[in-house]
């Protein structure tokens, strides 16, 4: 199958920081592709290069066969972009925002009118077409940004953290639109939400420090963790004390906490007994094995420390 995106040894530096480090990737047409990584991993830099907003220092990148540096205008004709932050024009109504996008893509008046009305209907904003984006909720603004990116029927849609800051209902709504687009275009998304990547994407790449770490489907990535020994532990009391103990154990490879519930993976089955010796049995409410998640893979590969 032909590639929609082709990155070859792409490199971008900001001063002494190498944001993208000799990054190579092929994304097939018609797939939903997710690029995951912690803050500062280089995801947004890659999107900015692919959407012609940034020039790479080395390497090449092509979108639908067009070089992003030499054929920027052709690339921009084919792409739709949903940036991290809503960059709607607050002095234009919802409808005018979409009409402006159509004009910038050189669409004719009749086609613009038809397409804009169709998209407003699709994202459930036709009743608010003449309202200004400032009067919309975060979810509605996000849906309008997605609609704007689709006005000119792009062949590749870039979504940079499309659901960050949205409530669960709005997230689901955005997921539904994205899924409905799957057959008509290639979708390239970055996200911090593992469940989002798991639910939506055919293929996932996890990157960190500008480099590709793993590449595969969600199922294949989770298989990598099959050898990992994942457990859930719940404590009746003193959860903070137990968190400190668990974090200090050298054989605990990943640790996530939700209230008094801990999800952890061990370096090997033989460490279960030392684990129990370390925490004792006084406060334990529950210990049970569990299936690895994409988040386990992510934490395993990118580490536990919080990034700026």
Partner 1 sequence: MFKGAFSIWKRDMLVLRRSLFSELVAVVASPLTFYLAFGFGLKGYIANVEGVPYTVFMAPGLITMTAVSAAFDESAWSMWFHRKVQRTIEAYRVTPITVYDIVIGKIISGFTQGALKGVAVATVIFLLTGVRFDPAHLAGYLAFIALGSMVFSCAGTVCGTLMDKPETIGKVQAVVIMPLIFLSGVFFPVSSYPEAMRAAVMAIPTTALFEGSRRALLAGSFDGGLIAILAVTALIAFTVTVAIFNRKMAE
Binding site for partner 1 (CB under 8 A): 51-53, 55, 73, 76-77, 79, 81, 83, 85, 87-92, 96, 100-101, 103-106, 148
Nearest to 246 by CA among 283, 208, 206, 297: 283
Which of residues 123 and 266 has its CB atom nearest to partner 1 in the complex? 123
- Give whole-number Cα distances, 129 to 94, 146, 287, in Å: 5, 15, 53
Which of residues 96 and 215 has its CB atom nearest to partner 1 in the complex? 96
Taking the complex as a whole, the smallest distance from the CB of residue 65 to partner 1 amounts, in Å, to 16
Q: Which two tokens stand for residue 304?
A: 């536990």
Taking the complex as a whole, the smallest distance from the CB of residue 97 to partner 1 amounts, in Å, to 9
Nearest to 130 by CA among 101, 92, 103, 100: 92
Which of residues 150 and 299 has its CB atom nearest to partner 1 in the complex? 150
3-state secondary structure of 176: helix
Taking the complex as a whole, the smallest distance from the CB of residue 136 to partner 1 amounts, in Å, to 15
- Give whole-number Cα distances, 295 to 11, 38, 176, 235, 292, in Å: 27, 11, 22, 22, 8
Which of residues 134 and 277 has its CB atom nearest to partner 1 in the complex? 134
Q: Which two tokens stand for residue 299?
A: 């934490």
- Give Rg (Cα) of the chain: 22
Which of residues 53 and 246 has its CB atom nearest to partner 1 in the complex? 53
DSSP track, 292-303: --HHHHHHHHH-
Q: Which two tokens stand for residue 287?
A: 């210990």
């Amino acid at each position: 199958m032909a590639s929609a995106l082709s990155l070859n040894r792409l490199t971008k530096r900001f001063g002494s920081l190498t944001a993208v480090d000799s990054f190579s990737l092929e994304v097939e047409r018609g797939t939903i592709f997710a690029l995951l990584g912690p803050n500062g991993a280089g995801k947004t830099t890659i999107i900015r290069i692919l959407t012609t907003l940034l020039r790479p220092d080395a390497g090449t990148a092509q979108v639908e066969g067009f070089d992003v540096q030499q054929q920027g205008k052709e690339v921009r004709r084919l792409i739709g972009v949903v940036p991290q932050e809503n960059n709607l024009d607050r002095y234009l109504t919802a409808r005018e925002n979409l009409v402006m996008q159509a004009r910038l893509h050189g669409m004719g008046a009749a086609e613009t009118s038809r397409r804009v009305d169709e998209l407003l209907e699709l994202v459930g904003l036709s009743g608010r077409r003449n309202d200004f984006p400032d009067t919309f909720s975060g979810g509605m603004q996000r849906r309008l940004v997605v609609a704007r990116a689709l006005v000119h029927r792009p062949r590749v849609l870039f979504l940079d953290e499309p659901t960050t800051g949205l409530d669960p209902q709005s997230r689901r709504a955005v997921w539904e639109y994205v899924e409905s687009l799957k057959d008509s275009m290639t979708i390239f998304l970055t996200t911090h939400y593992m469940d989002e990547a798991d639910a939506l994407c055919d293929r996932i790449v996890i990157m960190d420090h500008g480099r590709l770490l793993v590449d595969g489907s969600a199922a294949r990535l989770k298989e990598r963790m099959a050898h990992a020994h994942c457990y859930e532990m719940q404590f009746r009391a003193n959860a903070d004390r137990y968190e400190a103990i668990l974090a200090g154990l050298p054989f605990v490879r990943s640790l996530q906490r939700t209230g008094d519930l801990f999800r952890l993976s061990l370096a090997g089955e033989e460490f279960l007994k030392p684990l129990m010796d370390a925490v004792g049995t006084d406060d334990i409410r529950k210990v049970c094995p569990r299936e690895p998640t994409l988040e386990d893979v992510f934490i395993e590969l990118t580490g536990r420390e919080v990034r700026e």
